[in-house]
Homo-oligomer: A and B are copies of this chain.
Amino acid sequence: MTDENLSTEFDLEHFLPYRLDRLADRVSEALAQLYEAHYDLNVAQWRVLAWLHHRHELTAKQICAATRMDKARVSRAIQVLEGRGLMVRRPSPRDQRWQDLRLTEAGQALMVELVPQVRAWEAELVAPLATEEYHRLLDMMERLERPLRDDE
């Protein structure tokens, strides 16, 4: 991309940050309907569950990194989820500052019920794209994101 027409006019419809934000917002809103109404989870809680389901055992720090959420926000989500008996935490034997987080049976059960719904919904979401296009999309997103990464 070397379009150097840097005039003061710009068309927001072709401004990537705007388009990205709008799409992400709509997608996120649609997804939220799946877990909010039926399972009474907010975004933060859903993300914590999703990562624990995905990775089995994690610390809060790792969840912060994965979800890009503030540690206070993660901490609060964990409190709620633990209160609802969906997950447990115990101080890590390796380092008492960390806590190992994992889903309880109930948490697992919830995810086993929820995940297929989410997957089915996602299949519909990406239905307008051919499989090959979808891969290219993820690849482009990866290339856009890489220079923006702070650490790792």
- A contact set with B: CB distance below 8 Å: 1-4, 6-12, 14-28, 30-31, 50-51, 54, 66, 68, 111-112, 115-116, 118-120, 122-123, 125-131, 133-134, 136-138, 140-141, 143-149
Tell me whether A141 and B20 are in contact (CB under 8 A): yes
Secondary structure of the A side of the interface? helix
Tell me whether A125 and B144 are in contact (CB under 8 A): yes
Q: Indicate whether A54 sits within 8 Å of B24 (C-beta atoms), given known contacts A15-B122, A123-B4, A140-B137.
A: no
Tell me whether A125 and B16 are in contact (CB under 8 A): yes
Tell me whether B131 and A3 are in contact (CB under 8 A): yes
Tell me whether B123 and A3 are in contact (CB under 8 A): yes
Chain B hits for A145, CB < 8 A: 22-23, 26
Picked from B7, B19, B31, the residue with its CB within 8 Å of the CB of A17 is: B31
